[in-house]
Structure 1
Amino acid sequence: MKSAAILFIFLLAMMSPVVAQQTTSPSHKPVSVKVLVDSLDKALYRTYIFPEKSKLMNDYIKSQLKKGIYKNIKDPQQLADKIASDLQFVHKDGHLRMHYDPEFSAKMREESKQAGPPDETAAIKRTKEENFSFKKVEILDGNIGYVQFQGFSGFIEEAKPTLSAAFRFVANTNAVIIDLRKNGGGSPWMVKQIASYFYQERTRLNDIYERRGNKTMEFWAEPELADTMKLSMPVYILTSKNTFSAAEDFTYAMQVNKRAIIVGETTGGGAHPTGPVDIGQGFIMDIPFARSINHITKTDWEGTGVVPDVAVSADQALLKAQSLALDVQLTEAKTEEKKKQIRWSVNALKAHDYDQTVDATSFPSYIGEYGKFNIVLKENQLYLNDFLGRTFRLKPIGGALFLADDWLQVEFLSSSNTISLKLLGKPGWEDIYQRTK
């Protein structure tokens, strides 16, 4: 059963706008910094997940106030930025933020007067228009599924048709790559929902401890939530330094439970569920009110991030995950024909554009006619012209092997007397043509 109070706070946080730098308008009332600091003190003391840290932060902010550090800051957003920076100086917490937004502050005060949570219609509509943050689903070479989404929506029921369609599309693949490199987080209940597709048995994920109620909520992957899907193939999760919050929650649980291999960069390091708090005069504090705890590791990823199993730069993570998945397929392949097809895919991943690492000294020797095909050299790059009038730019793979298209590779075979052109088709077929001119 979901906690309505915490879900409401998550929805508020998700609907909170990104705040740009704002300047003081002529009608803006001067900020009473002392009143602001007193309000901040009370908010942190009541809400922040670590009471001892809130005291240290409050003491430091008060000392800065006493020194007059904030006295000459007239721009409200600059004041918010400075106070937030001072808070982080005492205790680094990626979720603890402060910004100046009078409109959002007024909206929060108005909604607090209403009975129950605000009308979610507009937020649901906006989230639907964003396809619940799902951006791409496809089948990569080697029958590898690829799913990219950039947030964990709080509207689980509304999102289920989209979730089901996305994961059913990759249900028959040999492996699934989940791309969270641009995923900034969201709802832990969506983490639970998506994780449920990948476990055959009820499996504990990460718990959330809430300070104010002094209670712990357990989150479990539930196979009955998986809409009859049983995705048992290997899973690879792509991460970057921008992978944050709920995206880390999902990644950490999948890693600790040995259900996925994490490929990419160490994540941002935010393990604290957060909600906006109106501290008056148009200022909003995003204050972590809870923390994640894994029952196996007895800790979380706050401040450290989720460390990948295979560390590579974010822009190389997809290629690396594909390579890892294909290596597994190659190990498990039963026939030489199947191994040949997988090697074709492995080689295709190695193709790259022409750069300073390419040794082009042998390229002129490849020029010529090979039956129905013609090889030409333009600006130190090789091209294949075929009998249908098509031209393929040959991307180097290594040695004399090149990628012509997503279904065709070519290799130049040299002997003492001549050079031959070997065509290697993706399904596994091969043809060899000797040079005629």
Structure 2
Amino acid sequence: MKYTFLCILVCVALFNNARAQSANGKSKPVSVKILIDSLDRALDRIYIFPDKSKMMGSYLKSQMKKGAYKNISDPKLLADKIGSDLQTVHRDGHLRIHYDPEFLAREAAQQKNSGSPDFTEAIKQAKAENFAFRKVEILDGNIGYVLFHGFNGFIEEAKPTLHAAFRFVSNTDAVIIDLRNNGGGSPWMVKQICSYFYQERTRLNDIYERRRNKTMEFWAEPELADTMKLSMPLYILTSKHTFSAAEDFTYAMQVNKRAIIVGETTGGGAHPTGPVDVGQGFVVDIPFARSINHITQTDWEGTGVVPDIAVASDDALPKAQTLALEAQAATATTDEKKKQVQWSLRALKAHEYTSTDNTIYEKYAGTYGKFSVTLKEAKLYLHDFNGRTFLLKPIERSLFLATDWLQAEFLTSASGSISLKLLGKPGWEDIYERTK
């Protein structure tokens, strides 16, 4: 476990470091042949798909014979070109090559310092970033919302944050987990977070490692959930940027029918990866293992996780809210609960004004008892007796959202007179006749 996590952590660090580096001073000319041969051997020895590694090696050699790399003197540009050619043969979002001449020196220094990784600074940084957790809140309709951007590998250090986040939403009627900008991380964090949502030990996605020809099973373990049992409906938001461990989490939840996936098809990366030195300052991140689900006997590599409800990424949150509220409406047992749910469903339809034509709404302007409605720049505003002003956002032609607890509806009688109906979030309603 520590080895795999270290590989993933170093891979991410090297990738970010390589992006930031620029060639400093003059470097020795690169022998492309030696580089390609070394890369070919590494892929053949380690890459998770032996048949693909042979195809990639053959393609790189054919490109070299054609002179595709002959005039590339910048090592970083050479790495980019080779990386692009690798993806031409077989698309793998985890397979990358970069120029990092300091890689071996860092490895030697690490070995000198007791031979074990020192995560002190990495843990400090993870804490500063709140272990990638960005937002936890209760949305209208008692729906929990949890947003995080990564599956951090420091499980024990992160547990207080995790427990606090999921305990905050433990009394909700549904939970939405937002992974639309989650790039992945540790499979052990996937296991930890999954464990909050299962009432019994449940198998997730396994990881098969080619070099050792071994499969590591991953299970959701309820005893890891700090006594919480989150059995409410779960919705997971995805986008094309949802990747790696975020897909691992999503796929396991979908296959086990524990969550409804809403959004876009994910990025399609299912391979744990580690850095390998291939000489002359070049490092290749090689996927040495693959995820595999014991039910489907496959994974999401190259295809992504296909959502249950396909919508544009920007529309995923309101769609999931709508689904959760509709489920509440279907099971509501009191009129008050039904009114509250309908109020929330209507509120989700509120939108910005799309017309600049004053004539559309001018008939609603006027005084309604202790309330007044004004029209300014084709937008309606509600003014109450406490001096507060609310922009009325359209829901339907005569129905508007004033705040997260108040809606306003204009009723037109058969004779043409207009009344103002105020609908409060708890379910109360008041009607005011227009006096001016």
Name the TM tier (shorter chain). Answer: over 0.9
Pair 1:316-2:315 in alignment: yes
Is 367-376 or 166-175 further displaced after alignment? Answer: 367-376
Post-superposition CA distance 1:313-334 (Å, at most 9, x none): 1111000000000000000000
| Matched residue, 1:365 | 363
Alignment of 1:280-295 (within 5 A): 280-295=279-294
* 1:108 positional shift: 2.9
Pair 1:237-2:236 in alignment: yes
Q: Describe the SS at the equivalent of 2:262.
A: strand
User: Is the contact made by 2:97 and 2:283 (CA closer than 8 Å) also made in structure 1?
Assistant: yes
From 365, 389, 394, give the equivalent of 2:392.
394
Pair 1:101-2:100 in alignment: yes
* 1:32 positional shift: 1.7
| Matched residue, 1:335 | 334
User: Is the contact made by 2:15 and 2:98 (CA closer than 8 Å) also made in structure 1?
Assistant: no
| Matched residue, 2:49 | 50
The amino acid of 1:400's aligned partner reads S
TM-score (norm 1): 0.96
User: Is the contact made by 1:180 and 1:238 (CA closer than 8 Å) also made in structure 2?
Assistant: yes
- What fraction of aligned residue pairs are identical, expressed as a percent? 72
Cα gap change, 1:23 to 1:116, in 2 (>3 Å): closer
Is 16-25 or 301-310 further displaced after alignment? Answer: 16-25
Q: Describe the SS at the equivalent of 1:57.
A: helix
Cα gap change, 1:268 to 1:208, in 2 (>3 Å): same
* 1:42 positional shift: 1.8
User: How far apart, CA to CA, are the structure 2 residues paired with 1:135 and 1:355?
Assistant: 32
User: Is the contact made by 1:10 and 1:154 (CA closer than 8 Å) also made in structure 2?
Assistant: no
Q: Describe the SS at the equivalent of 2:19.
A: coil
User: Is the contact made by 2:357 and 2:378 (CA closer than 8 Å) also made in structure 1?
Assistant: no
* 1:112 positional shift: 4.8
| Matched residue, 2:39 | 40
Q: Describe the SS at the equivalent of 1:330.
A: helix
| Matched residue, 1:212 | 211
Q: Describe the SS at the equivalent of 1:413.
A: strand
Give aligned pairs, total. Answer: 434
Alignment of 1:402-413 (within 5 A): 402-413=400-411
Unaligned runs of 5+ in 2: none
User: How far apart, CA to CA, are the structure 2 residues paired with 1:24 and 1:273?
Assistant: 29
Q: Describe the SS at the equivalent of 1:16.
A: helix
User: How far apart, CA to CA, are the structure 2 residues paired with 1:278 and 1:144?
Assistant: 48
Q: Describe the SS at the equivalent of 1:85.
A: helix
The amino acid of 2:342's aligned partner reads R
* 1:400 positional shift: 0.5
Q: Describe the SS at the equivalent of 2:400.
A: strand
Post-superposition CA distance 1:268-306 (Å, at most 9, x none): 000111111122222221110000010000000000000
User: Is the contact made by 2:322 and 2:348 (CA closer than 8 Å) also made in structure 1?
Assistant: yes
Post-superposition CA distance 1:178-206 (Å, at most 9, x none): 00001000000100000000000100000
Post-superposition CA distance 1:119-171 (Å, at most 9, x none): 11111111111110000000000000000011011110111000000000000
User: How far apart, CA to CA, are the structure 1 residues paired with 2:104 and 2:133?
Assistant: 30
| Matched residue, 1:382 | 380
User: How far apart, CA to CA, are the structure 2 residues paired with 1:365 and 1:138?
Assistant: 39
Post-superposition CA distance 1:60-100 (Å, at most 9, x none): 11111122210100111111110011111111111111112
Cα gap change, 1:62 to 1:109, in 2 (>3 Å): farther
Is 382-391 or 256-265 further displaced after alignment? Answer: 382-391
Q: Describe the SS at the equivalent of 2:102.
A: helix
The amino acid of 2:106's aligned partner reads K
Q: Describe the SS at the equivalent of 1:433.
A: strand
Cα gap change, 1:217 to 1:359, in 2 (>3 Å): farther
Pair 1:306-2:305 in alignment: yes
Alignment of 1:142-181 (within 5 A): 142-181=141-180
Pair 1:123-2:96 in alignment: no
| Matched residue, 2:193 | 194
* 1:345 positional shift: 0.4
| Matched residue, 1:137 | 136
The amino acid of 1:403's aligned partner reads L
User: Is the contact made by 1:22 and 1:75 (CA closer than 8 Å) also made in structure 2?
Assistant: no
* 1:23 positional shift: 4.6
User: How far apart, CA to CA, are the structure 2 residues paired with 1:211 and 1:296?
Assistant: 20
TM-score (norm 2): 0.96
| Matched residue, 1:72 | 71
* 1:371 positional shift: 1.1
User: How far apart, CA to CA, are the structure 2 residues paired with 1:117 and 1:303?
Assistant: 34
* 1:101 positional shift: 2.3
* 1:360 positional shift: 6.2
Cα gap change, 1:436 to 1:36, in 2 (>3 Å): same
User: How far apart, CA to CA, are the structure 1 residues paired with 2:59 and 2:300?
Assistant: 26
Cα gap change, 1:289 to 1:66, in 2 (>3 Å): same
* 1:113 positional shift: 5.5
Cα gap change, 1:393 to 1:173, in 2 (>3 Å): same
| Matched residue, 1:275 | 274
User: How far apart, CA to CA, are the structure 1 residues paired with 2:295 and 2:262?
Assistant: 21
User: How far apart, CA to CA, are the structure 2 residues paired with 1:107 and 1:271?
Assistant: 28
Post-superposition CA distance 1:353-379 (Å, at most 9, x none): 0115x9864411111111111111111
* 1:417 positional shift: 4.3
The amino acid of 2:334's aligned partner reads T
The amino acid of 1:253's aligned partner reads A
User: How far apart, CA to CA, are the structure 2 residues paired with 1:87 and 1:417?
Assistant: 71
